[in-house]
Amino acid sequence: VPGYVFRFVPVTYADSDERLKRGELEFLFCGPALFVELEVRGLALPVATVISGRLPDKPTELLGSAGITAAGDRRIRTWKDLRHKRIAALPGRSLGGWLAAARELQEEGVDPRRDLAGVQSYETVEGIVAAVIQNSVDAGILPTGMLEWLVRRGDVEWRQLRVLNPRTAYPGSQDFPYVYSTRLYPNSLMARSPRVPNALADQVAVALLSIPANLEAASVTHVAGWTTPLSYESVRQCMAELGVPPFERNWRNAASVLFREHLVVAVTAICLVGGLLALLTGIALVSNIRLRRSRVRLGQELAERKAAEAQLHYQATLLAQTSDAVVATDTQYLVTYWNPAAERLLGTPRAKAVGLEVGSLINYQQPPEARRAIRESLRLRGFWAGEATVKRPDGTIIQVELAVNEVRGPAGELLGSVGNFRDITDRKRAEEMRRLETARLDAMFRLAQMSAASRTELANYALSEAVRLTGSEFGYLAELSPGAPRAELRAWVERNSHSGASVRWADISAAALCREAVEQRRPVVFANLPPDLLPGVKSLLCAPVFEGDQIVLVAGLANKPEPYNDNDIRQLSLLMDGAWKLIRLRESQNRYQVLFEDSPVPIVEADLSSVHQFLEQHPGGWRGAVQQLLSRDSFLKLCLARIRIEGLNAEARKLLRVETPEQLRQRFETTLADAARRIIRPGLAALAAGEPAWNGQVEFAIPGAGRRWLDVRLSPLSSAEQPWSRVILSLVDFTERKRLEEQLLQSQKMEAVGNLAGGIAHDFNNLLTVINGYTELAALKLEEGHPSLSHLDEVRKAGRRAEDLTRQLLAFSRKQVLQPRPLDLNQAVVEAERMLRRVLGERVQMATDLAPDLGAVSADPTQIHQVILNLAVNARDAMPNGGKLLFQTSNVELEAGSSRFTGNLPPGPYVMLAVSDTGTGMDESTRARVFEPFFTTKEPGRGTGLGLSTVYGVVSQSGGGIEVLSQVGTGTTFKILLPRIAEEAGASPAEAAPAPGGTETILLVEDEADVRHFAAEALRSYGYTVLEAGGGREALRIAEASGNGIQLLITDVVMPEMNGPELASRITEALPHMPVIYISGYPDGLMEHLEPLRDNALYLQKPFSSAALARKVRAALAPDAAAV
């Protein structure tokens, strides 16, 4: 029951009424006898009757008594046989443990108070059974079901006992599952104080009726469920017949006794007077002595007469002051006595009533045959007791409990009758209210079970129940929307289709009768409506229904045969209020279900309340030690077993590849156990610390979906009364984002290493230019066969290896200047095949599968050749014992959203080059680092770790991407995608011709003196005139002084005071047709300053040879005649 906390306290029979009177108790779980006693005193009302489940397969809401004797005792077979016997029973107020059996004894003529040898009270049923078996008593009384429970528990065997007078049928007992010897009565119940608000009582009733039978607390207390309150009239009759509190019946014979005593005294007085006269006559004739004796006797008799008169006066006072109405009649039914209570109850003064026929004074509402039955009962049995309805002279109707007894004289002659009337109107009203409360609770219970009903169906059902419970002819339900001019009809119910009600909702709305209830914000009753206002409507009850402070509904009932009263108002208001709350709750649940099911985020709803209870049971306080407890796998496993999955939405089912909550719970114990532990261990610790939520990133190994990274949020939505009962687990798959982040990190690492490599290459290329250049010049000046030529040749080889290393550094850092052209990858593979067979050796078998219709790509042939070579060498090293190397080409179309390749390639046409080997393969960690610079799995001295980094740099700079597929023990495949172009691939460039010379004048600008001196000397050796400058300003002065005498400008790109492109721009302002050659060892500077290159500008990468410089110069001066 949300918003309330219930505290359970024990009470006894003796103090329960006082504690209810003092307001210490709101609800009371008690037996039927105690409830009836409290109800009669106005201290208790019923809420729900319990269904006992002491034996789980035999639930029942009834109880009675089972009389038992020892199996070998043949003396006792019926209740009558218990006369003068000893009986063992539960304490005297137990219905099943004594009262039910006592009623049977009394009806069989055995007075439980006088005709038994003794009733011994036991506190437990085990004690009663033991006493019977041991013959300590002759018989025992057990509540029904206890004998079967003791047998099932093994405490007793059937053969040891015999059931006394077993019944097989009794009204309402067709399905009763236990042996019984008495009538059956309603079971124990949950009762409430009249002070408890009705709304709270309704919530408690609905909560009890909704308790599942498999609840742990229910099994411990042997409760199979609850039902709407049964009628306890049979219990009341049982207690009344036995005369136990509060039904002591001394008042019934009081009037008869008084009349009998009065008659005896009167007769005695007459006799005394006659005797007195006789004595007086005798006294005159006798002596003075006898006269004195007679006087003494007369004085005694007078004293006795005064005492009798005093007694009569006292008894008359008792009759006058009793709260029950007492009416006496003679044999002709004429009133002879009418006490003050009769004046108040029946509404007629005593002076008027005495002497009149009693039937003219008391207007019974029963038919005449009922009154004749009463007189016939008096004639045959001398008494009649029952209930009657009386209409007072002022028109009010009262309910009375009536007991009528004949009055007879000492000789048995009929003198008349005396009737005792007790006002039970309030009790009957309370019973009617209880009946209506039960019916309304039953209606609310059925409403709560209408899970598939629509809003209109719920409203119609609730309204039809209100019409039925109040006895109205028809009813309506209208909704008030904010801002709407008038209420809109939502439900209209007529008690029967032939009611003849001609009025419609439009008539009621037009009459504006509902408006008064809305304006006054309370129920309003319209009685005796004018016929012309609403034809066909005689009376109308309008009641507003609130949601908070706002009126949301107006409910109405019409044409009840009797005037509408407070009880009708209460039933309508409570029923409509409960129905509206249920409708709103259902709508809220539906909205939540829609949001839950349609959410794009995978959501799992779990119940961790059992885990919370398990942790609370840990001794020594669990909150401070939760981290330590959860660190133990065995303890965490026990927590996981107590998690109950309540639901998961469509996205969660799709992500986790499950269909039901049960499947997910099983996965948490098997395939997803590792992920579950990584969630629950920190999640429970966070919940125990009172944190509002826990967030974490967890890797899931999902069957059928592989390994996925999920962003997990665990949020509790429970109340303080039920901690952790509702926990939401939201899962966001960020596997793709994590992969992109790893790619970005890899790219940033490559960029950082590339920047370092580019900086090193700049300075290194300057050095190599000098080293390789002067080595070449020195070799040219020596005669063939000179001993130093071999030394210079070794220097030149080392320089070339250093040049290759520098080129690789620039390649993987994507800072070399490519010279792309249309290229056929098939041709590139074929051209590399002969050289590769020498590199691979005889143990590696090389094969090709080349697509005949392969499209062209735009790439630098030299760099693609380097890619093929590096992949082949990498494959060879992965196959130390030999294997197969396969080159494949094909045309592919890359679809949108494909993320398998590096570089985030756009969709479109591509050409694929796949290189596959049958080598050792790679694990996931190795594959993730395969393109990192200087990363290698080879032993020291066998690799630089730059081969695959170079492949990555060339492919990325060419606009392509790479996918790596590998499995340990199976092999590896590198798939390279390059954008396909529409142009056709051209022929391979011809071998370069010998470097030509010339006589032109060249301005050489280089800030590195060693490089400048080498280049000048090399150009002069080819016949050119060289003007040297160490910087931009010096070059401008030389150019200005030379005028038009300079035919070519050769300049470094990056220089301290003025960079190469700026220098070329200023010189070509005066000489616009002058060609320019840029030289640089750091292509990043070129990319920064030469976008785009001038039409007449060429580029020469350091280090360069004298021949390469001469060819580049010739190409700049005579582009049509030179080979580049």
Burial 16-32 (b: 16+ CB within 10 A, else e): bbebbeeeebbbbebbb
Q: At what angle do helices 100-107 and 233-242 cross, to 10 degrees?
A: 60
For the whole model, what pTM was predicted?
Answer: 0.41
Q: At what angle do helices 673-688 and 661-669 cross, to 10 degrees?
A: 100
| Alpha-carbon span 1089 to 239, nearest angstrom | 112
- What is the SS3 assignment for 532? coil
- What is the SS3 assignment for 425? helix
Burial 515-541 (b: 16+ CB within 10 A, else e): eebbeeeebbbbeebeeeebebbebbb
Q: What are phi and psi of 118, to 5 degrees?
A: 160, 150
How does DSSP classify residue 906?
P
Enumerate residues 6+ apart whose C-beta is below 8 A from 852: none
CB half-sphere exposure, 332, CA atoms < 13 A:
6
| Alpha-carbon span 1048 to 1097, nearest angstrom | 10
Using left for φ > 0, alpha for ψ between -120 and 50, and beta otherwise, residue 563 falls in beta
pLDDT at site 268: 67
Task: Point out which residues pair with 419 in neighbouring strands.
Answer: 327, 404
| Alpha-carbon span 850 to 858, nearest angstrom | 18
| Alpha-carbon span 373 to 386, nearest angstrom | 12
pLDDT at site 515: 81
Burial class (CB in 10 A: 0-12, 13-18, 19+), 741: exposed
| Alpha-carbon span 955 to 740, nearest angstrom | 18
| Alpha-carbon span 357 to 335, nearest angstrom | 6
pLDDT at site 256: 43
pLDDT at site 373: 81
| Alpha-carbon span 450 to 582, nearest angstrom | 10
CB half-sphere exposure, 1077, CA atoms < 13 A:
27
pLDDT in tens, 383-399: 888 888 899 998 888 98
Cβ 863 vs Cβ 811: under 8 Å: yes
| Alpha-carbon span 239 to 114, nearest angstrom | 18
Residue that the structure tokens 């600008």 belong to: 1005
Q: What are phi and psi of 23, to 5 degrees?
A: 75, 20
Listed as ranges, residues in the chain with pLDDT below 50 are 250-262, 498-500, 990-991, 1084-1093, 1121-1124
| Alpha-carbon span 823 to 978, nearest angstrom | 11
Q: Give the CA distances from residue 1106 to residues 772, 1013, 1014, 1053, in Å, rounded to whole numbers and listed in that order.
A: 9, 12, 9, 19
pLDDT in tens, 538-576: 888 999 988 888 888 888 898 888 888 888 888 888 888
How does DSSP classify residue 357?
B
Q: Give the CA distances from residue 105 to residues 97, 113, 650, 853, in Å, rounded to whole numbers and listed in that order.
A: 14, 10, 67, 111
Q: What are phi and psi of 650, to 5 degrees?
A: -60, -40
Burial 91-130 (b: 16+ CB within 10 A, else e): ebbbbbbbbbbbbbbbeeebebeeebeebeebeebebbbb
pLDDT at site 1087: 45
| Alpha-carbon span 1096 to 1080, nearest angstrom | 17
Cβ 752 vs Cβ 734: under 8 Å: no
| Alpha-carbon span 606 to 729, nearest angstrom | 8
Cβ 606 vs Cβ 471: under 8 Å: no
Burial class (CB in 10 A: 0-12, 13-18, 19+), 787: exposed
pLDDT at site 451: 64
